Amino acid sequence: MLPNFRKAVVSGIQKHNSRLFSSSQTSARKGLVLGVYEKDKDDKSNKVLLTEAAAAFDKSVSGKLSEILTVSGPPLKKGKSRMFYGLHQDFPSVAVVGLGQKGAGVCRKEQWDNGKENIRAAVAAGCRQLQDLEIPHVEVDPCGDGQSAAEGAVLGLFEYDELKRKKTTRVTPQLYGSGDDKAWEKGVLYGEGQNLARRLMEAPANHVTPTVFADTIEQKLSPFSDRVTVYKRAKPWIESEQMDAFLSVAKGSEEPPVFLEVHYTGSPDSKQPPLVLVGKGVTFDSGGISIKPASGMDAMRADMGGAAAVCSAIVTAAALKLPINIVGLTPLCENMPSGKANKPGDVVKAKNGKTIQVDNTDAEGRLILADALCYAHNFNPRAIVNAATLTGAMDVALGSAATGVFTNSDWLWEQLHKASVVTGDRVWRMPLFQHYTRQVTESALADVNNIGKYSRSGGACTAAAFLREFVTASHWAHLDIAGVMSNKDEVPYLRKGMSGRPTRTLVEFAAALASGS
């Protein structure tokens, strides 16, 4: 039987190849991603543990999928994929992906849901294999969690090639089967939200200036104009608001600053206090007069990662029609060295009247956030959450494993942490001790110093302590996302490049607040 079976497989491959090179059928080619679980170590049988959708497919091909999996090699490990051809006339190419142990759930040590992460990684691997075959239409097994499967597909297929002549094959992932449509659609929106942030972060700084960034977000929110109001504040307004710390950074560049203010009114109770999200929007950071080393400076096109994540989260919240009110605030500018730029030792004044000694012009993000955080209090916020690629020290402390969270609120920390367990885009709480506050408030020339007196020690913590000087709200959190700004190979369902993290965690956090959980 086995030789005959192998002949059938070879015949299937030949049929597939003939279709592959048939121009008349190229546009109709379809691929399929199906899931398979790892067996328990004690299970010595040859039985393959297929997902519900994979089992239904196997039945439709008279058990050929199960049979071929038993002879095609060792059992599939989680996150790995294997291609088969000619099994089904509607799906000439089938990628079977390993989901790990069935029933895997939240892991307290890893602080995420293993099952969801396994699905995201496996589906992404399968979709990419089909993309490499230039198959434009792919259907995906929900693998028991349609949202995670959709996120894996949408995130895994993204690649920034907008400025290249040779494009990666555009793949349209769709749900295979039925019954998980709402979860799938939700996952698509979560994935597309993070991909918007990735696209903004990846684009060159001469293509995404402060003005272009603001225009892009306005365009993305235009379909939701019944619920969203966008204000693009120019320099005269910024001056009238006495945001001199923000302007002191912007004045070093020829690009005009923009203060982007977005109001999403999703709650039926228009008087409900809003969640205020604040994002650092430095569209290119040279370091200013305290200029950065040339090596790696090109990555500073993504120093607006906080603004990208915040704005993309609001776009996603609007698409999901979350019943919550959100205000998004993003001060947008470049940090460049020029005759007008801040000089080390300069003193500037923030919106709340506090003076700031600027001892390092490369610590500019906290200057623009200081004014934005002061302004955020005008909205009587339910909570304020700011996100910023703020310090290299955060990357040193946590690397790309998690976003560092500094907060004055246990409740807010718990909400952010719960959201991150669901998304797999983890957060980790960092200290806000008075020990760090003293280091930024003991300044020779001003009320606060923008780097603290021990500049190399606890840099992420002193930066957070600096921001706290401009916050009076009871529920505030600062997310330092410098360590998670880019991805090499740490997150298997993201390609190398800018990550767009933690967009999905912000969306999940807002969704939980909206539901009252």
Q: Could you list the active site residues?
A: 292, 366
Pairwise CA distance, residues 59 & 135, whole Å: 24
What is the number of other CB atoms lying within 10 angstroms of the CB of residue 325? 23
Q: What is the DSSP letter of 300?
A: G
Cβ atoms 485, 498 nearer than 8 A: yes
Residue 288, helix vs strand vs coil? coil
The torsion angles phi and psi of 172, rounded to 5 degrees, stand at -105, 100
Pairwise CA distance, residues 103 & 432, whole Å: 38
Helices within 266-362 (DSSP H only): 305-320
Residues shown for the chain: 517
Pairwise CA distance, residues 128 & 123, whole Å: 9
Pairwise CA distance, residues 194 & 315, whole Å: 10
The torsion angles phi and psi of 121, rounded to 5 degrees, stand at -65, -40
Cβ atoms 476, 493 nearer than 8 A: no
| DSSP count for the chain of H helices, then E strands | 16, 22
The torsion angles phi and psi of 132, rounded to 5 degrees, stand at -65, -25
**Token pair 């759930």 in the structure block, residue:** 105
Cβ atoms 367, 293 nearer than 8 A: no
Check whether the bond before 344 is cis (ω within 30° of 0): no
